[in-house]
């Protein structure tokens, strides 16, 4: 029995570190699902359109930006000229969570890495305001809003992190949502369930989205085709600058990402 327990612990640890796919491990977590308040849902969410606003997050100090970010940022403004543009700094994000979601603030403040706080904030931003969220290293090639259905959350597919590690392939770098959509209840309950995971991709990013997409009704969710929205073959391209990853690992990840 002890050997079996040790094996389960080992596999769970390897899955959290993204060394093996998540569905190879038996997952046990210290937090039950849905311990957070259920967020209020729009009564017309099934037909709600996506608000005309683009959200991005970055440090206020632009000297900390990756060289590609400013050019990518410009593409969103150029392709969506009738959309409001909102840049969220670290200070803006903290103010949002602290004032509007005070019940989540202890969890948010307690994360051991800044990227986890940035990951989780984007979900609350899209729940609160709706619109398009794009990472700073996402380039927009053309206006795609005519392709986006009302009443659903649309999230880009990813072939590297998601498909291998989680058995599903979604990336939280490009997300499009009506305001107060019920999909975010699934995401936020998973934040509590997996909050002790050490790897951000497990505890606050791709794994969280994949679990929510599996759990929610199909009527809530719309995957954005990898080739068209992530690989740059039509609407958008993810450059994967991965600024939160230590430099040595970053180059390995980028090389792997481009090769797959």
Residue 30 predicted with pLDDT over 50 = no
Number of neighbours of residue 1 by Cβ within 10 angstroms: 5
Q: Greater confidence, 165 or 83?
A: 83
Q: Which helix (DSSP H) or strand (DSSP E) does residue 166 occupy?
A: helix 161-166
Q: What is the pLDDT of residue 207?
A: 83
Taking residues 106-126, report their average pLDDT: 95
**Counting Cβ atoms within 10 Å, is residue 46 exposed (0-12), middle (13-18) or buried (19+)?**
middle
Q: What is the pLDDT of residue 162?
A: 45
Q: What confidence tens digit (pLDDT) does each residue in 59-68 have? A: 999 999 999 9
User: Which of 18-27, 84-93, 152-161 shows the lowest per-residue confidence on average (mean pLDDT)?
Assistant: 18-27
At residue 31 the predicted structure's pLDDT band, cuts being 50, 70 and 90, is: very low
DSSP category for residue 141: -
Say how far apart CA 238 and CA 224 lie, in whole Å: 13
At residue 192 the predicted structure's pLDDT band, cuts being 50, 70 and 90, is: confident
Nearest to 214 by CA among 148, 155, 135: 155
**Counting Cβ atoms within 10 Å, is residue 231 exposed (0-12), middle (13-18) or buried (19+)?**
middle
**Counting Cβ atoms within 10 Å, is residue 244 exposed (0-12), middle (13-18) or buried (19+)?**
middle
Q: What is the pLDDT of residue 165?
A: 47
Mean pLDDT (the chain) is 85
Say how far apart CA 203 and CA 192 lie, in whole Å: 9
Q: What is the pLDDT of residue 202?
A: 81
Can you list the domains of the chain with their CATH numbers? 48-60+68-259 (3.90.550.20)
Residue 116 predicted with pLDDT over 90 = yes
- CA atoms within 13 A of residue 226's CA, in its CB half-sphere: 13
Nearest to 76 by CA among 221, 209, 157, 176: 176
**Counting Cβ atoms within 10 Å, is residue 234 exposed (0-12), middle (13-18) or buried (19+)?**
middle
Estimate the crossing angle of helix 114-129 against helix 90-100, to 10 degrees.
Answer: 60
Say how far apart CA 189 and CA 100 lie, in whole Å: 17
In this structure, what are the phi and psi dihedrals at residue 82, rounded to the nearest 5 degrees?
-95, 5
Burial string for 29-41 (b: 16+ CB within 10 Å, else e) reads: eebeeeebeebee
Per the CB < 8 A criterion, the answer to whether 121 and 93 are in contact is yes
At residue 23 the predicted structure's pLDDT band, cuts being 50, 70 and 90, is: low
SS3 139: strand
C-alpha angle 189-237-174 in degrees, rounded to nearest 5: 20
Taking residues 109-133, report their average pLDDT: 96
Number of neighbours of residue 66 by Cβ within 10 angstroms: 14
């Amino acid at each position: 029995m002890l050997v079996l327990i040790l094996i389960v612990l080992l596999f769970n640890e390897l899955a959290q570190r993204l060394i093996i796919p998540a569905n190879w491990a038996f997952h046990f977590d210290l937090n039950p699902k849905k311990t957070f308040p259920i967020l209020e849902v729009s009564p017309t969410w099934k037909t709600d359109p996506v608000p005309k606003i683009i959200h991005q997050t970055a440090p206020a100090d632009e000297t900390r930006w990756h060289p590609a970010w400013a050019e990518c940022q410009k593409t969103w403004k150029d392709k969506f000229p009738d959309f409001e543009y909102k840049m969220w700094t670290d200070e803006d994000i903290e103010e949002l969570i602290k004032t509007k979601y005070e019940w989540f603030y202890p969890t948010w403040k307690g994360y051991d890495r800044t990227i986890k706080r940035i990951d989780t904030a984007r979900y609350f931003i899209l729940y609160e305001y709706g619109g398009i969220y794009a990472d700073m290293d996402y380039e927009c090639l053309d206006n795609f809003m005519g392709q986006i259905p009302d009443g659903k959350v649309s999230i880009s597919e990813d072939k590297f992190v998601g498909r291998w590690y989680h058995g599903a392939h979604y990336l939280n770098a490009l997300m499009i949502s009506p305001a107060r959509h019920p999909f975010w209840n699934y995401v936020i309950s998973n934040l509590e369930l997996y909050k002790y995971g050490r790897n951000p991709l497990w505890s606050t990013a791709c794994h969280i989205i994949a679990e929510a997409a599996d759990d929610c009704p199909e009527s809530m969710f719309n995957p954005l085709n990898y080739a068209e929205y992530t690989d740059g073959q039509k609407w958008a391209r993810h450059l994967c600058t991965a600024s939160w990853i230590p430099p040595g690992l970053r180059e390995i990840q980028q090389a792997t990402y481009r090769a797959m």
